[in-house]
Structure 1
Amino acid sequence: MVRKEKGSVILSIAIVILVAGVILGVVFGFYLTRGIPEVDSLAYNLPMETTKVYAKDGTLLQEYGAEKRILVPFTEISPSFFDALIAVEDANFYKHHGISIRGILRALVGDITQRKAGQGGSTITMQLARQYFLTPEKTITRKIKEILLSLKIERRYTKQQILEMYANKVCFGHGYYGIEAAARFYFGKKAIALSPDEAAFLAGVIQRPTYYSPKKYPERAKERRDFVLSRMVKTGKLSEEEYKRLSSKPIKLASSAVEKGTGAYPAERVRIYLETKYSEEDIYEKGLKVFTTIDPKLQAVAVKAVQEGLRDYQRRRPYKGPKRGDEAKPPSEDKDLSEGQSYWARVEEVSKEGIKVFFCGKSFELGKKNFKWYPSLTPNIVFKEGDSVLINVVQKEPLELQIDDTPDAQSALFSFNVRTGEVYSLVGGSDFSETMFNRVIQAKRQTGSAVKPLIYATAFRDGKNITDTELDSPTLFLYGTENPSQICSQGYIPRDFEKGFLGTITLRHALEHSVNICAVRLLNEVGYSRVIELMRKLRITADLKPYPSMGLGSFEITLWELTGAYGAFANNGVYVSPYFIQRIEDRNGTVLENYTPDFEAVLDPDVDFILVSAMKGVIKRGTAG
């Protein structure tokens, strides 16, 4: 009887424990699964994609967004990449159903022995689940959710779809996400064209993109690539001979991965424009495509012209000295030296004869022969260890280095096709990383004598002839607000750079020699309103005051507007508005905007011919000769 009662008690306890276990299991299961999203969303949950700005030839100028990405289907990715990825990340990918029991147990043992959640054990499917739906925190709860999601993903999608989504999602370093963007950045080619060794590198860098960066740590990157190649041998995707051949090759990066871009100024203007028309989400996540008229070759030439011109100017001035303390710059890390380029270097040693500097991964001894632009420098007085100095690579073979200096002055350059309005180059300053201010579009400067052709164009349009005459003699021009007793002091008396007066001269001679008094007299004769009317037709928006000083360009104008106005003179009197944004598309190729320039016949062709003839005389016989 006692035995029977004892058995009943044990049975009751067992039932209670079982029911409690079921309840706890249900509650715990509900807790774990309540935040798990439906994996069906993967089919339409597109990853963030950057806005891309393209040059005229289709090359990439710039990208905006946290994740630089180009989405591609499975068929446009090299099979070698998937072979390498599976070999290094998940050798049993085609055998399991989303999880690897062996991998999970191995990770669990490691976590217990190390007393922290740190081991991996994730399959490609589990990594995909984590990338899309979970946080990177390392907890048991997250791991269980990862397992449950992986099982769901494997039931919903094919292995090929999982690989495609993974390849388009993961980070490859330097802000590039997805295999297509990474292939273009690192190797200058599409993902479908990747060779086995290139694919092995990209598959290997996913684990720790910064640690295995070939730009910062080329030795580590090669070791990791070679490890992936060895794994491909074990999975049967490479032979021993192929491994030996591929592992002996260096990682050869495309120029885009090591060179600085030259299209920063136009690309920044594109971004500013987009912010006036589109939301931040559209710009930084939705993958807009902006096609511009910028010619990469001409843009590079323009950047070089501005930088070399400013350097030549600075070299005619005293040396300002090295950067020191908080102003010191880190030494350049570029792997290759480029002729004509200047690099920041760190001073390592100083003596009376010269200095030893470090940049681009090497040390160089510099003596008097390297100070030719600043021959009066005394090294041990000017420099100290730890200083930052600018070094210019005059030539590579044989190597010639010279101490350089940062320019005090600034410059800008802007070129466009006067018949179509397409802007080919736009450089707003010496270096976008140092000064983002765009001196083509944002800077306003006094027009000076550049206004004179506008005055003469108005005169010719209104019937004046190039052979008509004007008097160059001392002249007092009144504003109409002068005090009668102070007319001479309050009036306007223009003067020329050269002393003396020419008397009666032709309009051709006056324009060719930029005679100030004749320009103001002609402005008075044709009328301020008529000149301002022509300027408005040429899209000059400056605040124009009908004062005599307007004849010498006392008003301020941007280089963009002035160059656009002069473009009409080179186009038979037809004004064509400059532009560099050609069209804007969404990520699917739907055209959102298409730009068409404004055309307006401002001058008759015969009038324009006379004006241009006189302007050519400025170079042949005048002030520019």
Structure 2
Amino acid sequence: MKLLTLLLKLGLKLTILVAFIGGLALAIAYFHYAPKLPDVETLRDVQLQTPLRIYSEDNKLISEFGEKRRWPISYQQIPQNYINALLAAEDRNFFNHMGVDIKGLFRAVYQLASSGRIQSGGSTITMQVAKNYFLTRERSFVRKFNEILLSLRIEQELTKEEIFELYVNKIYLGHRSYGIQAAANIYYGKNIGELSLAQVAMIAGLPKAPSAYNPITNPSRAIERRNWILKRMHSLSFINDEDYNNAKNEPVTAEYHGTQIELYAPFVAEMVRNELYQYFDESLYTNGFRVYTTLNSTMQAAANQAVEDGLLAYTERHGYFGAEKTAAADPLTDENIIAILNKERTFGSLQPAIVLSTDQQQAEVFIKDHGHATLTWDGMQWAREYKGANRLGRKPKLAADILTAGDLIRVRAAAENSWRLSQIPRVEGAFTALSPKDGALRALVGGFNFNHNKFNRATQAKRQPGSNIKPFIYASALEQGYTPATLINDAPVVLHDGDLESNWRPQNYSKKFYGPTRLREALYKSRNLVSIRILRSIGIDTAIEFLTRFGFDKDRLPNNLSLSLGTADVTPLELVTGYAGLANQGYKVTPYFIDRIEDTEGNILYQAQPTTVCADCTYIADNSAVPADFSLIPQAPTTIIKSTEPQSNITSPAIEPEETQESEQTVLASTLTGQQITNRPVAPRVMKPQTAYMIYNIMQDVITRGTGRRARVLQRSDLAGKTGTTNDQKDAWFSGFNKDVVASAWVGFDQPTTLGRSEFGGTAALPIWINFMETALEGVPDLPIPKPNGLVSIRIDPKTSLRAYPGQENAIFEIFPVASVPTETARNPLQPSAEGTTRTEDIF
């Protein structure tokens, strides 16, 4: 008995001594490590790595850049079922403990002592927050001790809800998903609040081992983990019997959902990424910026379809290149074919397919992601052999004349559940559309397909515009005193140039000469010789200065008479920007495509301030374009950045006195289309309103009776435009507008070569423009641009441009500036002739 008492006393003393030594050791450790711990308060302002996301103006997702897919959400957005599932799986006492679960720690110590290795860390959600945000994943006692200290501090500084929110937004859950909202979208294509009980339990089972319990790659283990969590939820009374039974019997429905792109605009997405990368480098992909572009989703989708249809129509007109390759699989079993097709990419609507057999005028094919299908004769009879831009082979009579079993081909869906043989075009195209009011980019397509070729022809390809440049030459002439009725002699011209081996003898495309021609007729019929004579008359320097007002680069404008035929080098975006000045009654706007940038909290970090047309504003001081200075956005954005003071390097042209004040000053307070634009930069005027209207009125004739007549199918009276075709049909253009939209289409080969002798602006490019405008102008009132003061319409003789004589039957109406109205009257052929009634000074 005495021995037992002695042992008990000794044991007690040893226990006290061990406790004292342990406490002392803990105290020493605390004072050693505590000062080195990070500041927990930083968790309140933590910036989770979130990808860059790019949207259209109407909030359609265009693209996402960044390795970590994450959509941070607030605690209030987390469904209660998920909260309960995570508590059941990870930390049932989370809302009750002080950050450390003593029982869990003792359990971990016991497992270590009994097995000799760490089996579980006894971590709470708070401890995992401490580890995920501040510590490494190293398994050591020092790291665990720091984790415990940090957890205690976190519990003192933050609420339980804040801690829970930090945890669910940080954790990795497989397939590049970080946080529960990203996981819900990747596995189920839904937000976390839209998931069923079984689905949230599946997500709650991932933090322990995202690979082992992944419902896509390991569904059997995933369902075991899910059902265990459901059982725990049931035992903890989080769910009732019915919910438990229904959930555990629910089949696994998870499948991989990539980023849900809502609007296909990869060329613009790359423009945004490249623009911002200059300021942020790699941090661009983790700061969580949301960039809202100026794209209109309806217009962009229409542009995508119009360009694809236009280029495919061109390639069908010029014949079939043949199969892309021959399938090597033998035999052509479904399994072998699927393996082959899985290696081939789909470009736009063009899907890869393998020809299985041909029979008379049809073929059996196997289409990627579709399976077996039949190609009928209607879908392949166009495929005459391609022999060159101007040559086609004989018309096929049988499917075997076109296809052979084993051919890898391209098909696209056609009407009435049928398929059409197609091919990847070798020709390329570009399309741009702007708002003429402020230069906002509404749609842009840089080529047939971004995945096939990433070169952005809309912004990077410098091509000759051909006759697309003529409206600016003619507008310059109108500024110099010409009128739409001015007569210019359409006659041969021989020009001497020391830089050329021989004289230059330009011609009209028709190779004909038409004599004295009114300026209006010369433009809408695109007469080359008249354009040259006009340019020679007004002077090359005058024309170049006029063109630079609209944003054209002076260094890329030829300083010779070939300028009148469009031998400048311009990009499609530069050209459509110039045309915006024709569409908005003579104002210079600067194209822009980033409307605003927001941080993850929705704070506006950058807001565009585009130069805006405001014809009826009150002006008080000089103001022009504000540059897009993205360097103002902080690397760790926390505040709203205010706009800089506007700057300008645009010089307004010389304009008549009554307009000078308007062009050089800016708005104090006014409205534009119902929106307040106080303090917004105002677009400078670069052309007289009278000139702008006259050139618009003439370009309307391009569509009603000239080279753009195909556009009459739109049945609108407010459209104006101009075709453009370069020498040897290497470039085909159509640019046109009304007061709401200005757009330009280009078609050509990347390495300039002829499109074919039958391909012109009105053939290759205009159909693209028409298809776009049909959608873009749907529901837009047909309201032609109003005629400004200072212009009058009078009846003239179409041959002499003099006033029509009384009763003249073939007289036409023409527009004149008031000061330029003809004073002479044409001679009535039924009346005796009178000397001096025919002007000759305008015929040269």
Q: TM-score scaled by structure 1? A: 0.79
- The letter of the residue matching 1:177 is Y
Q: Does 1:379 align with 2:404?
A: yes
Query: 1:559-574 maps to which residues of 2 (within 5 A)?
Result: 559-574=572-587
Q: Which segment drifts farther, 557-566 or 306-315?
A: 306-315
Q: Does 1:67 align with 2:80?
A: no
2:324 to 304, 321, 324: 321
Query: 1:182-193 maps to which residues of 2 (within 5 A)?
Result: none
- The letter of the residue matching 1:423 is L
- The letter of the residue matching 2:275 is Y
In the alignment, which residue of structure 1 is the partner of 2:504?
492
In the alignment, which residue of structure 2 is the partner of 1:341?
349
Question: In structure 2, what is the Cα distance between the partners aligned to 1:440 and 1:552?
Answer: 21
In the alignment, which residue of structure 2 is the partner of 1:6?
none
In the alignment, which residue of structure 2 is the partner of 1:279?
280
Q: Which segment drifts farther, 506-515 or 165-174?
A: 165-174
Question: In structure 1, what is the Cα distance between the partners aligned to 2:368 and 2:211?
Answer: 21
Counterparts in 2 of 1:302 and 1:31: CA distance versus 1, 3 Å: farther
Structure 1 position 124, deviation (Å):
2.3
Structure 1 position 458, deviation (Å):
0.8
CA contact (8 A) 2:326 2:407 kept: no
Question: In structure 2, what is the Cα distance between the partners aligned to 1:116 and 1:344?
Answer: 55
In the alignment, which residue of structure 2 is the partner of 1:594?
608
1:510 to 498, 517, 522: 522
Cα deviation 1:367-425 (Å, max 9, x = unaligned) = 55497375444433535xxxxx6553446x85x45554333222222212212322221
Q: Does 1:583 align with 2:596?
A: yes
In the alignment, which residue of structure 2 is the partner of 1:533?
545
Counterparts in 2 of 1:583 and 1:84: CA distance versus 1, 3 Å: same
CA contact (8 A) 1:306 1:412 kept: yes
Could you tell me which runs of 5 or more consecutive residues in structure 2 were left unpaired when the two chains were aligned: 1-13, 329-338, 384-398, 612-624, 626-682, 710-844
Q: Does 1:392 align with 2:412?
A: yes
- The letter of the residue matching 2:426 is D
Question: In structure 2, what is the Cα distance between the partners aligned to 1:255 and 1:300?
Answer: 22
In the alignment, which residue of structure 2 is the partner of 1:57?
58
SS in 2 for 1:446: coil
Q: Does 1:330 align with 2:342?
A: yes
Question: In structure 1, what is the Cα distance between the partners aligned to 2:529 and 2:697?
Answer: 21
Q: Does 1:91 align with 2:92?
A: yes
- The letter of the residue matching 1:365 is H
In terms of fraction of residues, the more helix-rich structure is: 1
In the alignment, which residue of structure 2 is the partner of 1:621?
705
Question: In structure 2, what is the Cα distance between the partners aligned to 1:133 and 1:426?
Answer: 45
Could you tell me which runs of 5 or more consecutive residues in structure 1 were left unpaired when the two chains were aligned: 1-13, 384-388
Counterparts in 2 of 1:241 and 1:267: CA distance versus 1, 3 Å: same
SS in 1 for 2:516: strand
CA contact (8 A) 1:282 1:288 kept: no
Query: 1:26-425 maps to which residues of 2 (within 5 A)?
Result: 37-99=38-100, 122-137=123-138, 142=143, 145-147=146-148, 149-180=150-181, 196=197, 199-207=200-208, 228-229=229-230, 231-245=232-246, 248=250, 251=253, 257=259, 261-276=263-278, 278-280=279-281, 283-315=284-316, 316-322=319-325, 330=342, 341-344=349-352, 357=366, 359-360=368-369, 364-369=371-376, 372=380, 375=399, 376-380=401-405, 382=407, 390-394=410-414, 398=417, 400-402=418-420, 404-425=422-443
Question: In structure 2, what is the Cα distance between the partners aligned to 1:418 and 1:123?
Answer: 59
Q: Percent identity?
A: 31
Structure 1 position 53, deviation (Å):
2.8
SS in 2 for 1:436: coil
CA contact (8 A) 2:365 2:375 kept: no
In the alignment, which residue of structure 1 is the partner of 2:479?
461
CA contact (8 A) 2:367 2:373 kept: no
Counterparts in 2 of 1:125 and 1:496: CA distance versus 1, 3 Å: same
1:441 to 431, 452, 459: 459
Structure 1 position 556, deviation (Å):
0.8
- The letter of the residue matching 1:291 is Y
SS in 2 for 1:238: coil
1:604 to 666, 673, 688: 688
Cα deviation 1:310-356 (Å, max 9, x = unaligned) = 3344444323414879x97735899xxx9x834456x6x95677777
Structure 1 position 177, deviation (Å):
3.1
Structure 1 position 165, deviation (Å):
0.8
Q: Does 1:430 align with 2:445?
A: no
SS in 2 for 1:177: coil
Counterparts in 2 of 1:313 and 1:477: CA distance versus 1, 3 Å: same
CA contact (8 A) 2:447 2:456 kept: yes
Structure 1 position 457, deviation (Å):
0.9
SS in 2 for 1:291: strand
Question: In structure 2, what is the Cα distance between the partners aligned to 1:124 and 1:269?
Answer: 42
- The letter of the residue matching 1:317 is Y
Cα deviation 1:489-547 (Å, max 9, x = unaligned) = 43322123223222222222211121111111111111111211121111112521211
SS in 2 for 1:88: helix
Question: In structure 2, what is the Cα distance between the partners aligned to 1:220 and 1:257?
Answer: 26
CA contact (8 A) 2:50 2:70 kept: yes
Question: In structure 2, what is the Cα distance between the partners aligned to 1:129 and 1:227?
Answer: 27
How many residue pairs are counted as aligned between the two chains? Answer: 590
Q: TM-score scaled by structure 2? A: 0.60
Counterparts in 2 of 1:118 and 1:585: CA distance versus 1, 3 Å: same
